[in-house]
Chain A
Amino acid sequence: MSAPLAPRFSPPPLIDWAGIRADFPLIAGQDLIYFDNAASSQKPKVMLQAMEEMLSHSYANVHRGVHSLSQKATDQYEAARKTVARFINAADEAEVVFTSGATDSINTIAFSFGEAHIQPGDEILLSGMEHHANIVPWQLMAQRKGAVIKAIPVLDNGSLNLESLDALMGPKTKLLSLVWVSNSLGTVNPIPYIVQKAHAYGIPVLVDAAQAAPHMPLDVQAIDCDFMVFSAHKMCGPTGLGVLYGKRALFENLPPYRGGGDMIDRVSFEKTTFQGLPFRFEAGTPHILGAIAFAAVLDYLSNIGLGHIEERERQLSHSLRSQLKADFPQIQLIGTAPDSVSVVSFLLKGHHPLDVGVLLDNQKVAVRTGHHCCQPLMDRFGIPGTVRASLAFYNTEEEIQRFLLALRKTIHLLR
């Protein structure tokens, strides 16, 4: 008798997705179809509880008081930093700076890196699918410093033209700042490959992970990026909080972006000296409550498992994509890159996205319409904008079916 064959694939773990949906008070048991997660995601009860707990028992300013309550708050705030560091596998929690959001994080690096390293004629490389938040800060810096902005072109299917990389990278290229997952198209860019390529030219890389962090496991050491930014509110955390990760070697020598309390070592009117990482980049009282609530959310997400979240969101968005493709000849998908997650962007041929959005809204479907803060990308496709459905792990296949029905009715009303 032969030995039983080992199964080639382990069966998927049983995750109680219905129970997880029930953790989100705003959508649990509601008939609202919330497909606007790329704009901001809904919040789990654990976040509310963490906020209430903190405000009820351990709230005070951090890094300042000798009194016990301030110490308690400081311990929790610094523990939150450790949680973030663990979540992204940073080598050292001092490499994690809390900001007000991904936009603020990019502005910080654009300013500080620009001050330290950019000379007239130097180049910053971006891509044609960047959010305005990863374009405008660099333009502001480039205007100040006389630098030049270049962009990796986007192919017709919404992926990057990787063949152009060698031509775009050279001795003048001082930094590459690139989106991991496109907020408008859902395209997942091959970040590890691109980072490796840039490093071969000696170019440091900032990864805009605002739309990646909610959907997949992050490992800054494995990716080997020099900076990574993301926002808490897009991954079930609070608004007004973001993360700026920087590899120590490069990060700790950058000058501060904003001055204020907590970021100084010693101040006199003649000369001020600054703290090291991470405090140098956290001027003023930070979003203490937000950081602590975010840590609770990250524990919650880690408990589900980012790998499981990614798998489910890929399944859901693939299901939506393939049904739109198969059953809706009037729909044109914008962005059909082989690798994508969460976001499904489309146009109803002959109709403005706004009309589609308003008629869906009347059927309790929340989607985003417009240019998604990516006007250069919309120009690239020659369109005013798209209708964007963006899914999260707490969405369901049943919602996708109801969404498709609402879309049918929308098409009927617009005929």
Chain B
Amino acid sequence: MNSTMHNTAHLLEADFALFDSWEEKYEYLMDLGRDLKWPEGRLQADSMLIPGCQSRVWLDHAFQNGKIEFFAASEALIVKGLIAMLLKVYSGQSAADILAFQPDFIGRIGLSQHLSPTRSNGLFSMLNTLKSTAIAYQNA
């Protein structure tokens, strides 16, 4: 079990718990989205698009020293916020840790409605892509 991932998830949970209303939760989520930056100079190509979202979502990664770093962008602010939340937890971790981690924190934050495979925000698809990337590096 990777304690960094769990700690980050707990911190996110604690942050969201500060807000009582859905309005504040979403404002915070969108703030997270505003802070999500695609690295300057890095190519953002159509081949990085994730299917299943109404807004376009790009996801790329770099593998270094046994860790996978993820980069993401989206046209929609709420989607960016959801991705930013995921990347805070998943980016910079090893393939094994990524695959072992259960993203229960999303439900505890109160955003699990976005996780349904049939929702068109791409969060489900995003999680799957994070995991399939990890599978590719499992034996690396």
A interface residue numbers (CB < 8 A to B)? 351-355, 358-359, 362, 369-370, 384-385, 409, 413-414
**Inter-chain contacts of A369 with B (CB < 8 A):** 54
Known A370-B54, A370-B120, A385-B54; judge A352-B27 contact (CB<8 A): no
A409 to B21, CA, bound (A): 14
A409 to B27, CA, bound (A): 12
Residues in B59-78 with C-beta less than 8 Å from chain A: 75-78
Of the candidates A362, A384, A413, A414, which one forms a contact with B55 in the assembled complex, judged by CB atoms under 8 Å apart? A384
B interface residue numbers (CB < 8 A to A)? 22-23, 26-27, 30, 53-56, 75-79, 120-121
**Inter-chain contacts of A413 with B (CB < 8 A):** 23, 26-27, 30
Q: Are A359 and B54 in contact (CB under 8 A)?
A: no
A385 to B54, CA, bound (A): 9
**Inter-chain contacts of A351 with B (CB < 8 A):** 77
A335 to B53, CA, bound (A): 24
**Inter-chain contacts of A362 with B (CB < 8 A):** 22-23, 26
A194 to B75, CA, bound (A): 39
Q: Nearest-CB distance from A212 to chain B (Å)?
A: 26
Q: Are B76 and A352 in contact (CB under 8 A)?
A: yes
A354 to B22, CA, bound (A): 17
Q: Are B23 and A358 in contact (CB under 8 A)?
A: no
A358 to B22, CA, bound (A): 12
A369 to B53, CA, bound (A): 11
Q: Are B26 and A354 in contact (CB under 8 A)?
A: no
Q: Are B78 and A353 in contact (CB under 8 A)?
A: no
Q: Nearest-CB distance from B126 to chain A (Å)?
A: 14
Between A354, A369, A414, the greatest number of chain B beta carbons within 10 A of the residue's beta carbon is seen for A354
CB-CB nearest in chain B for A361: B113
Q: Are B56 and A384 in contact (CB under 8 A)?
A: yes
Q: Nearest-CB distance from B35 to chain A (Å)?
A: 16
CB-CB nearest in chain A for B25: A362
Known A362-B22, A370-B120, A384-B75; judge A354-B30 contact (CB<8 A): no
Q: Nearest-CB distance from A351 to chain B (Å)?
A: 7
**Inter-chain contacts of B54 with A (CB < 8 A):** 353-354, 369-370, 384-385
CB-CB nearest in chain B for A370: B54
Q: Are A354 and B23 in contact (CB under 8 A)?
A: no
**Inter-chain contacts of B27 with A (CB < 8 A):** 413
Q: Nearest-CB distance from A373 to chain B (Å)?
A: 12
Q: Are B77 and A355 in contact (CB under 8 A)?
A: yes
A171 to B27, CA, bound (A): 59
CB-CB nearest in chain A for B53: A354
Q: Nearest-CB distance from B81 to chain A (Å)?
A: 10
A369 to B78, CA, bound (A): 14
A351 to B34, CA, bound (A): 13
A362 to B54, CA, bound (A): 18
Complex A-B: 13 CB contacts under 8 Å: A351-B77, A352-B77, A352-B79, A354-B54, A354-B55, A354-B121, A355-B79, A362-B23, A362-B26, A370-B54, A413-B27, A413-B30, A414-B77
Q: Are B26 and A359 in contact (CB under 8 A)?
A: yes
Q: Nearest-CB distance from B20 to chain A (Å)?
A: 14
Q: Nearest-CB distance from A365 to chain B (Å)?
A: 13
A413 to B23, CA, bound (A): 7
Q: Nearest-CB distance from A368 to chain B (Å)?
A: 10
List 8 tightest A-B contacts by C-beta distance, closest first. A352-B76, A354-B76, A370-B54, A354-B54, A352-B75, A354-B55, A355-B77, A355-B78
For the complex with contacts A354-B53, A359-B26, A413-B26, 15 further pairs of A-B residues with Cβ separation under 8 Å are: A352-B76, A352-B79, A354-B76, A355-B30, A355-B76, A355-B78, A358-B26, A358-B78, A362-B22, A362-B23, A369-B54, A384-B54, A385-B54, A414-B30, A414-B77
